[in-house]
Amino acid sequence: KHFILLFIVIINSTSIIGKSKPLPNSLPCDIRSLDIAARLRFDHDATKIASTDFGNLTHQIPAAVLNPSSVKDIVDLTKFSYNCSVPFSIAARGHAHSVRGQAMAYNGVVVNMTSLNDHNRKGSGLRISWSASLGSYADVGGEQLWIDVLNATLEHGLAPVSWTDYLYLTVGGTLSNAGISGQAFCYGPQINNVHELDVITGRGEFLTCSKHKNSELFYAVLGGLGQFGIITRARIVLDKAPKRVKWVQMFYSNFSAFSKDQEHLISTKGLDYVEGSLTGDDNHPNNWRSPFFSPADQSRIASLFTKYEVIYGMEVVKYYYDLSVDTVDEELQMLLKELNFIPGFIFMKDASFIDFLNRVRSEELSLEAKGLWDVPHPWLNLFVPKSGIMDFNAGVLVDIIHKQNKTSGPILVYPINQQKWDDRMSAVVPDEETIYAVGFLHSGGAIDWQVLDGQNKEILQFCNKAGIKVKQYLPHYETKEEWVNHFGAKWSIFNERKAKFDPKMILSPGQGIFRLG
Ligand code: FAD
């Protein structure tokens, strides 16, 4: 009888041991002795959620999930690991909209940042202020979603200046990368629009940093892929918010004209947003945009594919305020009058500022309703130097993407001024004045994700062979050599900063740059 019982216990244990289901508290130190124990979860329901992300490609089960009720909980956890004889890894999990397990911690502890929001804002919450030296700014918790920052700041007639296309991302998550969208040409990425941060380092120290105070930590953390500290508060630049925008889409059949016009517009004052995309004939023109085109416009645009091989869409926006309501149309006409889009293929819309900024949300809800949002997303995001963009178009956008006809999801292409980036920060971009952000936002489902991933590899191989010195954005690499190559001249400083702020390599192991030790 005892033998049978023992056998059943062994069977049950083996089913939860191993890479997919670690035993409760498989951490090396007894974390359950801490005050935060009540907010730690070891059960499979909690750890399973923490092993998923938007990419739906990688699953790493942590030993536990912390639902912090305050910033102090995260300090206690990090200090505990740092002082433990065998430290365990810790990953801040914002909204888990990474695509390659970057917010996961195999056998470590995942900190569910958004739970700071549920606990009466004992995190840093969201506060709007003004000072003579900084103007208007918002102090926001690293766990806050950008959509909530937008809603709160708009109540004061203010808004951040630099955005991402999609707003259901956390402040800590985008500042760990860069945060880019069509405003970046003029304001730089989101990391460029931060005055100050509160950070918990890998040693468990809670530090405030800025350009003037603990500046090395400040520069390390911005674009630092979560390697140097957990952001618990960011002081974000605000400006007067427009109420409405003029939103324009134009279509091109010629990449040279398309990129020339984009580059012209980002070097001219007047517009507030410039983006672009490859509009494949299987790519609906509304792709990832709230319905912009009427059905009649859509069939006109579709007719272009009978005439031209490849179509590129340029999207620009001009904000306007009560004072400029009478002049905005004229100003816009002046800005667009020299452009070389296909005659007649310009479409204009007047929208509220929030509807424009939150444009991807309705597409998310519609894809979700069709079961097409939670599918694998083997994304590839690149920064391409301007010197290589024509070859990139011919070799990648036309030969690989268009001719192979194996894509699903938007393909973004737009230029950014590199001078708007601060090289002291950890983020890396090609060393040229103008760089193109190119996003292959693939959705698996209709097409096997491995096929799309194979195409990503083909794109990188093409760039390598053609000598186009691209840098990955939201980078993902398998080997140390690739990371060293990615950071290039910045690798040694990245390494030194890691030794200083997270010497035991505890933080954000899912990025796969350093090994716990
Ligand atoms: P998570 O995925 O939770 O975390 C990402 C990384 O940051 C992890 O390593 C994590 O440990 C670390 N991290 C999280 N929170 C913190 C913190 N508080 N302190 C320190 N480290 C932390 N990016 C753009 O730039 N522009 C876009 O237009 C854009 N659009 C997107 C649209 C969609 C639909 C999706 C899914 C992603 C998009 N992204 C875009 C990418 C996005 O900015 C990054 O994936 C970002 O990391 C997501 O934020 P998150 O809160 O989900 O971070």
Is the distance from the beta carbon of residue 513 to the nearest atom of ligand 1 less than 6 Å? no
Cα 382 to averaged position of ligand 1 atoms, centre (Å): 16
Is the distance from the beta carbon of residue 179 to the nearest atom of ligand 1 less than 6 Å? yes
What is the reported pTM?
A: 0.94
C-alpha angle with apex 22: 10 to 34, nearest 5 degrees?
115
Is the distance from the beta carbon of residue 164 to the nearest atom of ligand 1 less than 6 Å? yes
In whole angstroms, give the CA distance from residue 305 to residue 186.
33
Nearest CA owner, ligand 1 atom 10: 103
Which domains does the chain possess? 2-116 (3.30.43.10), 126-241 (3.30.465.10), 244-473 (3.40.462.10)
> Given this model, what pLDDT does residue 31 score?
84
120 pLDDT higher than 90: no
CA 169 to chain centre: 7
Is the distance from the beta carbon of residue 190 to the nearest atom of ligand 1 less than 6 Å? no
Question: If residue 485 lies in a helix (H) or strand (E), which one and from where to where?
Answer: helix 480-487
Query: Which of the following is catalytic: 73, 261, 272, 275?
Result: 275
Nearest CA owner, ligand 1 atom 27: 164
Cα-Cα-Cα-Cα dihedral sign, residues 313, 319, 322, 324? negative
Separation in Å, CA 292 to CA 127, 247, 248, 287:
34, 9, 10, 10
> Given this model, what pLDDT does residue 1 score?
42
3-state secondary structure of 105: coil
pLDDT tens-digit readout, 186-243: 999 999 999 999 999 999 999 999 999 999 999 999 999 999 999 999 999 999 999 9
Q: Greater confidence, 459 or 405?
A: 459
92 pLDDT higher than 60: yes
Strand order in the sheet with 346-352: 346-352, 244-252, 312-320, 273-278, 411-417, 434-440, 380-385, 471-473
C-alpha angle with apex 314: 236 to 166, nearest 5 degrees?
35
What ligand 1 atom has the least distance to the C-alpha of 54? 36
What is the value of ipTM here, to two decimals?
0.99
Nearest CA owner, ligand 1 atom 31: 166
97 is catalytic: yes
Q: Given the structure tokens 């508060």, which residue do they identify?
A: 233
Is the distance from the beta carbon of residue 181 to the nearest atom of ligand 1 less than 6 Å? yes
165 is catalytic: yes
Strand order in the sheet with 109-112: 40-41, 64-66, 109-112, 90-93
